[in-house]
Chains A and B, each alone.
Chain A
């Protein structure tokens, strides 16, 4: 038994070091801005950079809109497929996986061709239009995660009976989705939301090619021009992503509890 556990630890530590060593090295390097001893100067430099604040704020805002648009599109779609068109589910599974298979660069080139300033729908003709396009692009990128999160959430509740119970009480479809379905799958929706947020914060390709002042291109720019700040930024975005993931775990505890009892 002891032998077994020893090798288990060896394998675990090997695997863990694969993640931890670069992280520790990056962190260590980020503290070396002042020569001779460790300091948080690089972090101070990052946080005091107005471009950091501006791009980060911009990405947070785009992230929030992407989450909202994603919920408005995905929740009713999954609801109606489960309730009325269950035969459509395999197609939904397939289509929502496409953003994982098709590279973001193809998506953004398609957008630019289709919505350029001389097209019928000139989204890229204005800053606001481009922001809207960017939001839609992020909704698409996050679709594999939001769809699965919402679908899993709806599997845990009896969508049909709850819908019928609400209908017979006089509720219409909008009231049913907003007052009964959404609150019961909120935890699943939020875990999808945090994944969306994590994707949006670090995304480079689309933001860069649409030329928007997002956090991803800023990271890239700093990385190309500074020495210590990129390491600090890597650690910061890592903490943000981990925070978002951690929130999903925390929220899991508030999932709706089953009440099927026979007594």
Chain B
């Protein structure tokens, strides 16, 4: 990573006796697309609002490009922001909405007009200058809001759940568009969302937050494949929790429903016959054998859910019920409820999470 462009250190926000952001630190390079991901109330929006200047940190500093902006007013920070509720100015047409920041900055009319036209082209709405917000669909309005945010060439782009008010289909297409525009302009972007799929699909790096703290910060595939904490593992993606008994701590062997399996790693404090919890992603389990899979387990099919391209099979292993995902192979018959089924996995895919 090159020099830190956005850096936050010891950032804390307290409302009365309630601390919603607890000494958060992170640093990002210029041009990165960063997501703040977490359940509602985890402090992600508060962090974004502190970066924007709408909230004053109780402690800590925020610097952008070497400049300490912690106490700067929002209108002095040269940032762009997109809101969940679009927040286009209802009294202004699209052209004046996009040109608002330029007008405030005193950019001459002709230059403004050219920049607005350029922005409308970028968001795929050329010639929409004279439209009013209420005449446009939600997706179009949000794209105009994006154009308004980036028209004055801000130092950074802040996105506060910009897709949450939109229908599912628009949400996916617009998030791809946002990412394409961001890559095109190379603008450092902070994106707040509670939707893990959104965060994983468009970010360079993801900050997973819970209860005011960072649980994990990393690239999407690291967050998903190597969750650092139990919270990250359960919040990001589907996860099976398996109750196992440690039968041979020295050789890292545990038993699940009487069937032994060897683990790559065990918590240091694991004792003989102690109960532990293993976690495994549904998609690393394969029906039948597969090359590289060194563990085979047998159970009873409890339920089969058809999800289109994927079939989710729930297998009972004693008290444990495991979900496993398999592609919808149209040439083979999906498993039936009550059948006995054998499936395999690679022991390296098992996650042993510290409690």
Residues of A participating in the B interface, judged by any CB pair closer than 8 Å:
157-158, 161-162, 164-172, 175, 180, 183-184, 186, 256-263
CA distance A186 to B91 in the complex (A): 10
CA distance A172 to B105 in the complex (A): 11
- Of B104, B138, B170, which is in contact with the most chain A CB atoms at under 10 Å from its CB? B104
CB-CB under 8 A from B139, the residues of chain A are 263
Q: What is the total of A-B residue contacts with beta carbons within 8 Å?
A: 100
Please, could you name 21 A-B residue pairs with CB atoms under 8 Å apart, sorted by A? A162-B89, A164-B83, A166-B89, A166-B100, A169-B80, A169-B104, A171-B75, A180-B89, A184-B90, A184-B91, A186-B91, A256-B90, A256-B134, A257-B90, A258-B134, A259-B133, A262-B167, A262-B170, A263-B138, A263-B139, A263-B167
Known: A161-B83, A259-B90, A263-B137. A168 touches B74 (CB 8 A): yes
CA distance A247 to B138 in the complex (A): 33
CB-CB under 8 A from B137, the residues of chain A are 261, 263
- The smallest beta-carbon distance between B140 and chain A, in angstroms, is 9
- The smallest beta-carbon distance between B144 and chain A, in angstroms, is 10
CB-CB under 8 A from B88, the residues of chain A are 165, 259
Q: Are B75 and A170 in contact (CB under 8 A)?
A: yes
Q: Are B74 and A164 in contact (CB under 8 A)?
A: yes
Select from chain B the residue with minimum beta-carbon distance to A258. Answer: B134
Q: Are B91 and A170 in contact (CB under 8 A)?
A: no
Chain B 129-168 interface 0/1 with A at a Cβ cutoff of 8 Å (1 = within)? 0001110111101000100110010000010000001110
Inter-chain pairs besides A169-B149, A263-B138, 12 sampled, C-beta below 8 Å: A157-B90, A164-B74, A164-B81, A167-B73, A170-B75, A171-B75, A171-B104, A257-B90, A259-B133, A261-B138, A262-B170, A263-B166
Q: Are A168 and B134 in contact (CB under 8 A)?
A: no
Known: A259-B136, A261-B141. A175 touches B104 (CB 8 A): yes
CA distance A259 to B81 in the complex (A): 19
Q: Are B134 and A257 in contact (CB under 8 A)?
A: yes
CB-CB under 8 A from A175, the residues of chain B are 104
CB-CB under 8 A from B79, the residues of chain A are 168
CA distance A256 to B135 in the complex (A): 12
Q: Does B224 contact A (CB under 8 A)?
A: no
Q: Are A169 and B90 in contact (CB under 8 A)?
A: no
Known: A180-B89, A257-B134. A168 touches B141 (CB 8 A): no
CB-CB under 8 A from A165, the residues of chain B are 81, 83, 87-89, 145, 148
